[in-house]
Amino acid sequence: MWLALFGASNVQPDVQTPGWKAAASRRRAALVAIVLASTVIAASLLFHTQAANGMHPVLHFIQLAIFVVLFGWVTAGFVTAMMGFWVQSHPDPHALPFVALDPRTLDRDARTAVIMPICNEPVAAVFAGLRATCESLAASGAAALFDVYVLSDTCDPDLRAQELAAWSELQAQLGDRSRIYYRLRQRRTRRKAGNVADFCRRWGRNYRYMVVLDADSVMSGESIATLVGMMEANPQAGIIQTAPRVCGVQTLHARAQQFAGRVAGRLFTAGMQFWQLGESHYWGHNAIIRVEPFMQHCALDLLPGRGGLSGEILSHDFVEAALMRRAGYHTWLTTDLEGSYEQQPSNLMEELQRDRRWCQGNLMNFRLITEPGFQAVHRAMLFTGAMSYVSAPLWLCFLLTSLGLHLLEQHAPALMFPWLGLSSTLGLLWTLTLTMLFLPRVLAVVAIMKHGEQAAYGGSAALIKSALFEAGLSALQAPIRMVAHTLFVIGALTGLNLEWKSPSREAQSVQWRDALRRFMPVMAIVAAALLAIFLFQRNAVWWLLPVGLPLLLAVPITVFTSESRWGLSLRRNHWLLTPEERSTPYVLVRAWA
């Protein structure tokens, strides 16, 4: 609706229906059918139990409605993971073909810009990673095709001076092996999307492709050259997104997230690739873009209106992928390409700071779900992007509604926790939900061991104990994330100011006073609520402890997991090991040097 006013001109649909389209339609239909059937059956079981016990129809209706949405959401993630498990052992004939090539054979006209937008970043870390990428490009034999641009929106004068000095030093180090340009944008509008758009207006016509990096990105020259080769082999490809691996983290929190992404995360990524195919995600970095259609069709305007969900589009990447596909070009996710890396927020507070921005951006994108010309799969991505944060207040509402019913209808069994006398029907629903939440983690470990890759994770025993440890830590942090995301959704919908700040790229411990200042209001509310429920009906307190206790311990959990010493100690003892820690790629060795 809004973007129809810009970025829709000269739309060029596919010359013919691509071969993968029919397979994608069948897979998506199967996904939707399984989700709908499972949700209908589960909702019927819950409704039957409510009818037998219910005396408060309004509360029961609210509980059932929220349950339908959440169960469907959990089922969709579960089925996606199952698709990923399947494709791990059965190569997908419809996936984008992987092109292994000699970089020196690339067309000399396939000029490519490697661009790194930055804004008030730690200079030493940024330029160390960029140096490693440039050195690897030079070693690939295809350096003549590439120009590298550092696109700075930094407003701090001291950091700007450091960036200029680092750029000059990098030029001197690389000499004529690489061409590196530095641009300081004077009119800093629309953040990263505006920075990239400004580059395209000034220099985009000089290049056939551009590889977009984040400030914490590191890519090998071979991976970048391979992306160019894949674009050359697929003229209808508009975006090819790699699946970057988290590397170079030290704190306990970041290493747990790194392990989760490397083990269970790859199942979900492979599953998304399986049903999205040529209408995939774009995550805004570690990806290659065909410049001409991007310039013609992916311009972004402001969202009209007032409040927190209007103005500049924050999560621009999902929208740009949808616009590229609307123009007739394909957007691909490739999970097989080695040599694409990124970092992770070092602690829970930094992660939540990042999530606040992502939450508002995804809720803004939901306004575009009816945009003319968008493919159904990209509408689904806009929905799931919003749902990934809206699910938090839904879980909280479901919990409070179930608690209210338990207090009002004391003869009725509790829905959430099986040790409180569940009926057989509710026990089945509980078991089914837990299975869908945790079985992907089990199958991820099975997939690794099935392919004989466990040695890269420290061996079978180390892999299993690390998976159990990460699952336990994730369960402890889940209530904290639920409450934080709920507050973010409320903030976005009410138009409260958003603090725009990049998460720390380096290991950073959280101080006790900072954690107390952040979490004390929530802890006080939870403590007061538990005390009130204890005075009213003490048995119900046990019902809430799995959620309430982690919230009461939010401060020590956050501080403890932010410590590098614990993360490094676990690493020395082969806990949470990843293949990149076991055998570090040379480009990362150079980046960390």
Q: Is residue 426 part of a domain?
A: yes
Report pTM.
0.92
Q: Which residues of the chain have pLDDT under 50?
A: 1-6, 8-11, 13, 413-422, 498, 500, 502
DSSP code string of 380-431: HHHHHHHHHHHHHHHHHHHHHHHHHHHHHSTTSPPSS-GGGT--HHHHHHHH
Please spell the DSSP secondary structure of 206-253, one letter per residue. G-SEEEE--TT-EE-HHHHHHHHHHHHH-TTEEEEEE-PEE-S--SHH
Q: 3-state class of 15 per DSSP?
A: coil
Beta bridge partners of 117: 151
* 349's tokens: 């507070």
pLDDT at 504: 55
Distance CA 133, CA 119 (A): 19
pLDDT at 433: 87
Residue 167 lies in a domain: no
Contacts of 477 (CB under 8 A, 6+ apart): 348, 550, 557, 561
Which amino acid is it at 238?
G
Residue 391 lies in a domain: yes
Element (DSSP H or E) covering residue 517 = helix 512-536
Taking each helix axis as running N to C, give the angle between helix 348-365 and helix 460-494, from 0 to 180 degrees, rounded to the nearest 10: 50
Tokens of 238: 């508009």
Helices (H) and strands (E) in the chain, counts: 20, 10
Q: Spell 221-235 as b/e; 16+ CB within 10 A means b.
A: bbbbbbbbbbbbebe
Assess contact for 559 and 515: CB atoms under 8 A: yes
- Is 159 part of any domain? no
Rg (CA), the chain: 25
The whole-angstrom separation of Cα 561 and Cα 512 is 12
Q: In a 10 Å sphere around its CB, with 0-12 CB exposed, 13-18 middle and 19+ buried, how is residue 513 labelled? A: exposed
Domain-embedded: residue 129: no
How far apart (Å, rounded) are the C-alpha atoms in residues 524 and 511?
A: 19
Contacts of 362 (CB under 8 A, 6+ apart): 315, 318, 382, 385, 386, 388, 389
Give the pLDDT score at 1.
Answer: 45
Query: What pLDDT score was predicted for residue 9?
Result: 43
State the pLDDT at residue 419.
Answer: 40
* 590, 135 contact by CB (below 8 A): yes
With contact defined as beta carbons under 8 Å apart, do 119 and 113 qualify?
Answer: no
Residue type, 126: V
Residue 62 CA to residue 65 CA, distance in Å, equals 5
Residue 507 is assigned to a structural domain of this protein: yes
- Counting the structural domains of the chain, the total is 1
Has residue 80 been placed in a domain? yes
Domain with 558, as residue range(s), is 1-97+234-593
3-state secondary structure string across 338-358:
CCEEECCCCCHHHHHHHHHHH
Q: Is residue 491 part of a domain?
A: yes
Q: Which one, of 27, 143, 2, lies nearest residue 82 by Cα?
A: 27
